[in-house]
Amino acid sequence: MKILVTGGAGFIGSHLTDALIKKGHQVTVWDNLNTGSKENLNPAADFKKIDLKNFPKTAELFWAGRFEAVFHLAAQTSVRKSVANPQEDARDNILASLNLIELCKKNWLDSGSKNKFIFSSTGGAIYGDTDKRPSDEELKENPLSPYGIGKLAIDKYLNYYRKFFNLNCVSLRYANVYGPRQNPHGEAGVVAIFINKMIKGKQPLINGDGKQTRDYVHVDDVVRANLLALEKNQAAGIFNVGTALETNVNQLFEKINKHFDNRFKKKHGPGLAGEQKTSCLLFKKIEKELDWRPKIVLDKGIEQTWEWFLKKAKHER
């Protein structure tokens, strides 16, 4: 298939691009490289540096590409930036996405259901803090940031396009994704942040008491969920992609510290204002409908990620 991956130079997008190419698909990557990196790009992919807010250019390239499927991962991913500038976040994550969906509708109008739009959404930022954990897809959404609101808005738009225009679309609501290639310098990605600091001999800082919990899902499992969403014709609607297991930051620190002979002590800093306390996703729906379940346990995934960062650090010396 001729497939477009937006954000394909980023952490998850580049792994997905590799997997699609390995399966023999013809892949085009669109990325503005604000957070993505050319180092992540698969040389077999056709790369276009473009900002999705450039609507005339995206329309031109979309018509020329004759894409049969779209994986939409490009986004402004900083919750803090979304809080500081909700308008800009909406332009990046709502208007740009809506423009891309419209291009799919116009190009695929007469194609029936053979084409597919697969959106990388979020679980934690949409469900918010809740006593019902692991959270399922029926839980009332309670996003507490413009970032979460934007992701939820696209989920709702896709439902509209599916019902009224027969757009074949899937929203995958991720838990906290981790693994090789994750950016260790952003606000999220605590696994990458801790490992990167420890490799450099720096003391990582735990925000607050470290009792805040997350559901950590490996990037390879996330990629597999995307591939199944493409390959299973009946796949439609919203699916959680998580492990249904909660791990707090103190526990995560201990798991990572084992790979450094427990050299580092827990050091706590002030908590982040407005930080979500809990997040954990149930995956029964995607297991039932797409035959997906997580395969990589956290300890093994951390080991694999540590090995990748260690190799990268040695190469940079």
- Are 101 and 236 found together in one domain? yes
**Cα of 210 vs its chain's centroid, Å:** 23
Q: What is the mean pLDDT of the chain?
A: 94
| 212 within 8 A of 277, measured Cβ to Cβ | yes
Q: Tell how strand 216-218 and strand 116-122 pair up.
A: unpaired
Domain residue limits at 117: 2-177+217-242+285-290
Q: What are phi and psi of 261, to 5 degrees?
A: 55, 30
- Are 125 and 200 found together in one domain? no
Read off the pTM: 0.95
Active-site residue, 178 included = no
Q: What is the pLDDT of residues 106-132, one digit of tens each?
A: 998 765 567 999 999 999 899 999 989
pLDDT at residue 50, as a whole number: 96
Q: Give, for 285, the enclosing helix (H) or strand (E).
A: helix 284-290
Q: DSSP of 63-126, one letter per residue? A: HHHT-SEEEE------HHHHHH-HHHHHIIIIIHHHHHHHHHHHHHTTSTTS-EEEEEEESHHH
Rounded average pLDDT over 127-152: 94
Catalytic residue among 147, 157, 174, 216: 147
Rounded average pLDDT over 139-149: 93
- Are 145 and 17 found together in one domain? yes
Q: What is the pLDDT of residues 218-271, one digit of tens each?
A: 999 999 999 999 998 777 899 999 999 999 999 999 999 999 999 999 999 988
Residue 186 has pLDDT above 80, yes or no: no
Q: How many domains does the chain have?
A: 2
pLDDT at residue 159, as a whole number: 96
